Amino acid sequence: MEGFIVFAAFFILALNVVCFYRVIKGPNVFDRALAISVIGNNTVLILVLVGFIFKRIDMFFDIAVVYALLNFILSIALGKYFENRGKQA
Amino acid sequence: MDILAGILLAAGLFFLAISCLGLIRLPDFYTRNHAAGKSGTLAAMLILLGLAIYHRFDITILRLLIIFLFFAVTGPTATHVVARAAFRMGLEPWTLKNRNPQFTSDDACCDVQTEDGEEGAGQC
C-alpha cells in the first residue's frame, strides 16, 4: 500500500506536467486560468499523499488546506476581474 | 480494508487522468471546463476518501474531512465563476459552423488576435 501511494503521487505529478501543455498552448486567458486551477487541485492531492508517505499527516494537511484556499481565491479573483472588464467593454 | 482503499485510490487516479485528457483534447473552453470541473472534483473526493479509509478513521482524519468538504464546495464554485466570466466577456462556444471560437467584442482580451472574417452570432 505504501508503494501504491508513492506511485499515486508520481502519477499525479506526471499528470501535472501533461496539464502544463494547456497553460502554454491555451488560446485565451480562461484556458490558462482553468489549467492552473486543475494543477493546483492536483498539487493539493500530492501534498496529502506526501503527508501519508512521510507519516507527518498533521503538518502536511495544514499545508494542503492553505494551498486549496489560495487556489480557490485565485480562481474567484480572476473570474471577478475579467467579468467586470467584460461589462465595461 | 486496504483493498477497498486501494480500489478507491485507483478510481480517483483514473478520473484524474480522464480530467487531464479532457483538458488537453476537447475543442473549446466550455467543454474543457466541463471535463476538468466535474471529473477533477470527483477524483479528488475519491482519493481523499480512500486515504481516510486507509488511515482507519481516528481523530486526525477530521482534517482530511475538512479538505473533502472544501473540495465539494469550492470545485463547482470556481468552475462556475470562471465559466460565467468567459460567457459575459463574450467567448463563443464551439459549434459545427464556428470551428475557431473567439471573443465577440474586439478589445475583449489581449491574448487573442482577432482575425477579421465572419462575425459571431452570439452577443452577450
Q: Do B111 and A27 touch (CB under 8 A)?
A: yes
Indicate yes or no: CB of B36 within 8 angstroms of CB of A12.
no
Question: In the predicted model, what is the mean pLDDT of residues A5-28?
Answer: 91
Query: Is B34 near chain A, with CB under 8 Å?
Result: no
Domain boundaries along the sequence of chain A: 2-88
Give the span between the Cα atoms of A67 and B29, in whole angstroms.
25
User: Which of B16, B70, B81 is the closest to A75 by Cβ?
Assistant: B81
d(CA B87, CA B53): 40
Give the model confidence (pLDDT) of A56-88 as tens digits. 888 898 899 999 999 999 999 988 888 877 666
Reply yes or no on whether the pLDDT at B113 is more than 60. no
User: What's the confidence (pLDDT) of residue B105?
Assistant: 52
Which of B118, B96, B15, B92 is closest to A30 using CA atoms?
B92
Res A56: pLDDT: 86
Q: What is the pTM of this model?
A: 0.82
Interface TM-score (ipTM) > 0.85: yes
Domain ranges of chain B: 2-88, 93-124
pLDDT in tens, B13-64: 999 999 999 999 988 889 999 998 889 899 999 999 999 888 876 787 888 8
- What chain B residue is nearest to A75 in terms of C-alpha separation? B78
Give the three-class secondary structure for B108: coil
